[in-house]
Amino acid sequence: MNSAPIRVLLADDQESIRSAFRMILDAQPDIHVIGEAADGTAAVELARHLKPDVVLADIRMPRIDGLELTRLLAGPDAPVPLRVVVVTTFDLDEYVHAALRNGASGFLLKRSGPALLIEAIRAAVAGDTLISPQITVRLLRELTKPTAAPTPEGEEPLTDRELEIVRLLADGGTNAEIAAKLIIAAGTVKNHVASIQRKLRVRNRVGIAAWAWEHGVRRS
């Protein structure tokens, strides 16, 4: 028996964009658009009512912007956190960092194309994350090696092994790739990632990567 399709809510103030996204997504056998909203307030209300698997949200929308929408629906204070993928024309660094801090499960540029859009939705549902390659490369290039490993404020410090996993994860490594690199079991990596999320008080791998980028944590 086939599994139920991924239910997606579109939030964008441009009807032409919503129509294009709907056409792309509804053409996929495993994705179904269940609603549209032209402003952030309507999107939040609709998301809380429909409980979609993924919300695709533009940043610049009337009433509530996409960053605040992400915080309300996916942030640490969200009563029932939803997966939000930010899709925007604007790739300003402050937008990227704010979206990731607010719990976004991905950050895409609209010019990235249909294939990446579809991949981001499937990744979000699978618990993974996808960020436009152009953004990832730029953020990583801007990093500088820290003089000392940072300690999460108010929390127990990350172990040396956890810091190594954070560095590999921030470079885009999957659990399997990290396990192969460190010569440990994939299940062990998964347990470490769960511990890291608890210590950093983040909800997912994007939150870990965002913390790593902001603190200059990367491989030597």
Site of tokens 């939150």: 207
- In the chain, the N- to C-terminal Cα span, in Å, equals 48
Give the integer Cα–Cα distance in Å for 75 and 210.
14
Taking CA 63 as the corner, what is the angle to CA 57 and CA 66, rounded to the nearest 5 degrees? 20
Residue with tokens 């990093």: 143
159-197 pLDDT, tens digit per residue, is 989 999 998 888 778 888 899 999 999 889 999 998 998
- pLDDT for 2 equals 57
pLDDT value at residue 141: 55
pLDDT tens by residue, 16-65: 999 999 999 999 999 999 999 999 999 999 999 999 999 999 999 999 99
User: HEC profile for the chain?
Assistant: CCCCCEEEEEECCCHHHHHHHHHHHHCCCCEEEEEEECCHHHHHHHHHHHCCCEEEECCCCCCCCHHHHHHHHHCCCCCCCCEEEEEECCCCHHHHHHHHHCCCCEEEEHHHCHHHHHHHHHHHHCCCCEECHHHHHHHHHHCCCCCCCCCCCCCCCCCHHHHHHHHHHHCCCCHHHHHHHHCCCHHHHHHHHHHHHHHHCCCCHHHHHHHHHHCCCCCC
Residue 17's Cα: distance from chain center in Å? 21
pLDDT of the residue at 145: 46
Q: Are 152 and 158 in contact (CB under 8 A)?
A: yes
For residue range 78-119, what is the model confidence (pLDDT) as tens digits? Answer: 888 999 999 988 777 778 888 888 889 988 888 888 998 999
Strand order in the sheet with 130-131: 31-37, 6-11, 54-57, 83-88, 106-109, 130-131
Q: Which residue has the tokens 């909203």?
A: 37
Question: What pLDDT sits at residue 19?
Answer: 96
The dihedral built from the CA positions of residue 206, 167, 150 and 186, taken in this order, carries a sign that is: positive
Q: How far is CA 68 from CA 50, 120, 136, in A?
A: 19, 20, 22
| 30 in Cβ contact with 6 (< 8 Å) | yes
pLDDT tens readout for residues 130-167:
887 666 655 555 544 444 556 666 567 889 899 999 98
More confident residue, 154 or 122: 122
pTM value is 0.67
Q: If you count them, how many residues does the chain have?
A: 220
Model pLDDT, residue 170: 80
